[in-house]
Chain A
Amino acid sequence: DAGVTQSPTHLIKTRGQQVTLRCSPISGHKSVSWYQQVLGQGPQFIFQYYEKEERGRGNFPDRFSARQFPNYSSELNVNALLLGDSALYLCASSLEQASYNEQFFGPGTRLTVL
């Protein structure tokens, strides 16, 4: 079975631009979470979606938004990009909504903001 897939793999944007990152969860998984991993740091929680509804939001500005589609795939949007948004963006999926359910991470999208 395919794992969590993310696209694109790498992305280069300039300050002020907007970006959309995509995630396809493991088949059958209904919960998707997004994390930002700055180089040398641990992942930071951005959003969690379950059954197309937002169930958790981390300490990120309103420039960050996300949604989940009926097929449980998800998009993360970041507007008005700043240099500090440069990071690896990770998507994780799990079967149900509960912290003790194993979250399977994708390989991430490396975003560079120039």
Chain B
Amino acid sequence: QQQVKQSPQSLIVQKGGISIINCAYENTAFDYFPWYQQFPGKGPALLIAIRPDVSEKKEGRFTISFNKSAKQFSLHIMDSQPGDSATYFCAASIDSFGNEKLTFGTGTRLTIIP
């Protein structure tokens, strides 16, 4: 049962453009929503995360937009650079369970072209 759905599967954006990746979740108990970046041959690395008490969080060129009523959240990468080319995963977890189980989306392969 896939609890976090991610789209698109792949994305090509020109350098300087905005990259947008979307995720939707089913379990309303989720209360922590991180985004991970993964380069080939490496493990995922935390990029930015949000809790449901805010609708937006920005860190540098990366912004998470969160819509609790629609059960959707998205990652926006402004001024996309070739170095941003990687696979991006959204994830969700329930902190009240007292464990760190992350439920990941299926990933988006982002390619930034010159």
Give the interface of A toward B (CB within 8 A): 4, 31, 33, 35, 40-45, 48, 50, 55-56, 58, 90, 92, 94, 97-108
Residues on A with C-beta less than 8 A from B98 are 55, 97-98
B residues at A contact (CB < 8 Å): 4, 6, 31-32, 36, 41-46, 49, 51, 89, 91, 93-95, 97-107
Is the beta-carbon distance between B44 and A105 smaller than 8 angstroms? yes
Q: Which of B41, B102, B106 contacts A45 (CB 8 A)?
A: B102
Neighbour of B44 across the interface among A41, A43, A55, A97, CB < 8 A: A43
Q: How far is the CA of A109 from the CA of B4 in the complex (A)?
A: 25
Contacts of A102 in B (CB 8 A): 46, 49
| 16 A-B pairs (CB sep. < 8 Å) | A40-B106, A45-B103, A56-B99, A90-B44, A92-B43, A92-B100, A99-B31, A99-B94, A100-B49, A100-B51, A100-B95, A101-B100, A102-B49, A104-B46, A105-B36, A105-B45
A35 to B100, CA, bound (A): 11
**A42–B100 CB distance below 8 A:** no
User: CB distance B43 to A99 under 8 Å?
Assistant: no
Would A94 and B89 count as touching, CB distance under 8 A?
Answer: no
Query: How many whole Å from B95's CB to the nearest CB in chain A?
Result: 4
A40 near B93 with CB under 8 A, answer no
